[in-house]
Amino acid sequence: MRQSITPIDTTRAYWTCQLIGWGLYGASQVSNAIATLPVPFERIVLEIALLNVAAVGLTQLLRKFMLRRGWKKLSLRQLLPRSVVASVLLGLLMGSVMHFMAVAPLWGLETIHDKEALESLPAFIVAMDPLTLRTVNWSLIFFIWIALYMGITSVRDRHSAELRQSQLSQALQSAELKLLKSQLNPHFLFNSLNSVRALIAEDPSRARDAVTQLAGLLRYTLRSDHDELVTLERELKTVGDYLALESLRLGDRMRVELDIAAGTQEIRIPVMLLQTVVENAIKHGIAELPGGGVLRISATLRDKALHVDVSNPRPTNPTPREQPGSGLYNAAERLRLLFGSRATLELDLSQSDRAIARIRVPSDILA
Cα 144–Cα 145–Cα 148 angle in degrees, nearest 5: 85
- Same domain for 262 and 151, yes or no, is no
Query: Is residue 181 one of the residues assigned to a domain?
Result: no
Residue at a domain's end among 107, 141, 166: 166
Longest dimension (CA), the chain: 116
Residue 54 exposed, middle or buried by CB count within 10 Å (0-12, 13-18, 19+): middle
- Same domain for 229 and 326, yes or no, is yes
How far is the C-alpha of 278 from the C-alpha of 223, rounded, in Å?
19
pLDDT: which is higher, 11 or 71:
71
Number of separate domains in the chain: 2
- Same domain for 282 and 336, yes or no, is yes
Residue 82 pLDDT class (50, 70, 90 cuts): very high
Is it the case that residue 66 has pLDDT exceeding 50?
yes
> What 3-state DSSP class applies to 77?
helix
pLDDT tens for each residue of 304-358: 899 999 999 998 876 655 444 567 887 888 888 788 888 999 999 998 889 999 9
How far is the C-alpha of 96 from the C-alpha of 92, rounded, in Å?
6
Query: Is residue 26 one of the residues assigned to a domain?
Result: yes
Query: Is residue 171 one of the residues assigned to a domain?
Result: no
- Same domain for 15 and 120, yes or no, is yes
Residue 161 pLDDT class (50, 70, 90 cuts): confident
How far is the C-alpha of 107 from the C-alpha of 104, rounded, in Å?
6
pLDDT: which is higher, 150 or 187:
150
How far is the C-alpha of 337 from the C-alpha of 170, rounded, in Å?
10
- Same domain for 149 and 280, yes or no, is no
* Mean pLDDT within 212-235: 76
Q: Tell me, what's the pLDDT at 147?
A: 95
Q: Tell me, what's the pLDDT at 279?
A: 87
pTM, entire model: 0.51
- Same domain for 251 and 322, yes or no, is yes
How far is the C-alpha of 50 from the C-alpha of 295, rounded, in Å?
86
154-158, 189-193, 287-291: lowest mean pLDDT where? 189-193
- Same domain for 216 and 286, yes or no, is yes
DSSP H or E stretch at residue 356: strand 354-362
Query: Is residue 195 one of the residues assigned to a domain?
Result: no
- Same domain for 159 and 211, yes or no, is no
Q: Tell me, what's the pLDDT at 224?
A: 55
pLDDT tens for each residue of 262-303: 999 999 998 888 988 998 898 889 988 888 899 999 999 998
Range of the domain at 124: 10-166
CA nearest 355: which of 254, 280, 251?
A: 280
List Cβ neighbours of 137 (8 Å cut-off, separation of 6 or more).
91, 95, 107
- Same domain for 280 and 356, yes or no, is yes
